[in-house]
Structure 1
Amino acid sequence: MRKLLALLFIIPFLAMGQEKGIHFEHNSNWEKIKSKAKAENKHIFVDCFTTWCGPCRWMSENVFPQEGVGTFFNANFVNLKLQMDQTKQDSEDVKSWYEEAKRFGKDYEVRAYPTFLIFSPEGELVHRMVGGGEADAFIARAKEGLNPETQYVTLIKKFEANPKDAQVAKSLAKAAESAYDEATASKAIDAFVDNVGVSGVLTAENIDLLVQGATSSKSVSYGIIRDNMKKVDQLLAQSNKAKSSNDVLAGVLSRELIQPKMGRGASGAIDFVALQKEIEQAHPYIDMRGPIAMSKAQYFAREKNWTAFKDAVNDYLTVNPKAVSADMLNSFAWTIFENCEDAACIKSALNWSKKSLEGGEQAMFIDTYANLLYKSGDKANAIKWQEKALSLAAAGEKENYQGTLEKMKAGQPTWN
């Protein structure tokens, strides 16, 4: 009896310990969700996800279960996970939402995943976010959905009512960027520039908006940056931005003049030397070496020419080192790990991976470094680094990292 009583006391505490993250509604429907939100005077948070979406899974495994995330979302929202695709493994609860998911996709234009929709307590869409992120940043983005001054849909209505309100235009541009709505963001930025003038946008406060607006070589923002490159560089440096005016403009030209030659349906070899010369002759204010090197890396990855890929990445790191993030370095290194056996490629990838750790040791980056050490033949150090990756890994990743560690200790390949 004493053991039974102890168990009865323990079970509630175990249950409480398992509900630290976001509480999502189950066995409900949209009308009940709206009724609950209205009764509790809470907004509605809807995670529109698919079963095949990697970032969706990452959010579910690493962000939503966090206690701080749960505290914020449970206090402010009625929360719903809405599966947008259909699989044979779907539960009856998921199946009951099939038609509603189709309606959401159509009515709210859900085209990318994950998409997060926020509704008012009355059930009216007020905010949209596309793409996940770390916990603190994600909470900050969700807070914008609670404030009429920063709500995406609310700002669209305000902007349409008064496009000459510079502050509304500026706020809408930021909200539209979070919603991946480039067309609305560009329209809002053009209106902002029209209202404040070139001198008004060439300030430390507005430089990010100007850069955001440079979506094409014909955009107003592109022309302002092109005609004021020195001033823009000064403002970017003041804002501690790694990019330069050349990076911004060259990136636009790359999207317009290089990427189409590498897209779906494109075939045949690309003469990158001739292409660079052609672009720089037409746009003599631009140095295209960085975008050309990056495009070569992408092209040779598609062609599975890993030696050429390695050389292109090294060229890019030499030409544009400040523009390379730890995430990019890790991605480059992992690509070599998964695809190349060449010792020179692995050596370069180890250098990229090691550099990715300089800004702070993350489990994912350490895992890449450990795997490359292992593939290079340095088993002892690989195991040490993999153990470190395991110790830093989020709960949802530990099983995967543990499996890699066991393969290393057993002398088995950790790659396919």
Structure 2
Amino acid sequence: MCFSAQAQGIKWMSMNDALEAQKKEPKKIFMDVYTDWCGPCKLLDKKTFHNKDVVSYVNKNYYAVKFNAEGTEEVKYNNFTYTNPNYNPDRKGRNSQHFFANALKISGYPSMVFFDEKANLIAPVVGYKTPKQLEIYLKMIYSNDYKKLTSTEAWKDYESSFVSTFTD
């Protein structure tokens, strides 16, 4: 029986596992920062992260990390262990923000965060994105084109000349 990339889905891992994997095989990290109560996060999961083009591109070119910004996972990053000491398991809806999400300056959900091959933060992208909207970021960061985009004008030129191949 043959399974398509879409059926298999994105191969999510923890940030700690991605950092370990980078030591053996350097690759950029693509992180989905979500919360349990966030409607657009659920839509991103359902629509964008199950799109066959997104699944295929992310699995091939990135370590994909799923991170609950209000969860309790311990993250060891840059010689520091990030936790969520104010997490309240009895709380319904919003909870306290994980210190790692805070360190990444996450200002909204969902956020997709990109790291280079040495786990240095590149940039967060805030908000729901369709597969076509996410494609430009996935490809720009994978190809290192983002390093050339040093002005708003350069970004506008890049964006206007970008040719999408993903389907929505």
Tell me how far 1:119 sits from its aligned partner. 0.5
State the alpha-carbon separation in 2 of the partners of residues 41 and 74 from structure 1: 14
Aligned pair partner of 1:23 in 11, 14, 27: 11
Q: Is the 8 A contact 1:69 1:139 kept in 2?
A: yes
Aligned pair partner of 2:116 in 103, 115, 120: 120
Q: Is the 8 A contact 1:150 1:171 kept in 2?
A: no
More strand by share: 2
In our comparison, the structure showing a higher alpha carbon Rg is 1
Residue 166 (structure 2) aligns with: none
Tell me how far 1:77 sits from its aligned partner. 0.4
1:109 aligns with 2:105: yes
Q: Is the 8 A contact 1:47 1:82 kept in 2?
A: yes
Q: Identify the structure with bigger relative contact order (alpha carbons < 8 Å, sequence gap 6+).
A: 2
More helix by share: 1
Tell me how far 1:139 sits from its aligned partner. 1.4
Over the matched positions of the two proteins, sequence identity in percent amounts to 20
Instruction: Provide the aligned length of Structure 1 versus Structure 2.
Output: 140
State the alpha-carbon separation in 1 of the partners of residues 111 and 63 from structure 2: 16
Residue 145 (structure 1) aligns with: 141
Change (3 A) 1:17 1:64: closer
1:96 aligns with 2:78: no
1:47 aligns with 2:32: yes
Partner of 2:12, secondary structure, is coil
Q: Is the 8 A contact 1:115 1:130 kept in 2?
A: yes
Tell me how far 1:66 sits from its aligned partner. 1.7
Q: Which sections of structure 2, spanning at least 5 residues, go unmatched?
A: 76-82, 85-96, 158-168
Residue type at the aligned position of 1:168: T
State the alpha-carbon separation in 2 of the partners of residues 29 and 142 from structure 1: 18
State the alpha-carbon separation in 1 of the partners of residues 145 and 5 from structure 2: 36
Partner of 2:146, secondary structure, is coil
What are the equivalent positions in structure 2 for 1:12-411 lying under 5 Å apart? 13=2, 18-19=7-8, 21-25=9-13, 28-30=14-16, 32-86=17-71, 95-97=72-74, 99=83, 102-150=98-146, 168-170=150-152, 174=155
Residue type at the aligned position of 2:7: Q
Partner of 2:98, secondary structure, is helix
State the alpha-carbon separation in 1 of the partners of residues 15 and 133 from structure 2: 30
Tell me how far 1:22 sits from its aligned partner. 1.5
Change (3 A) 1:145 1:127: farther
State the alpha-carbon separation in 2 of the partners of residues 52 and 103 from structure 1: 18
The alignment's C-alpha RMSD in Å is: 3.1
State the alpha-carbon separation in 1 of the partners of residues 141 and 6 from structure 2: 28
Tell me how far 1:132 sits from its aligned partner. 2.0
Q: Is the 8 A contact 1:48 1:83 kept in 2?
A: yes
Tell me how far 1:40 sits from its aligned partner. 2.5
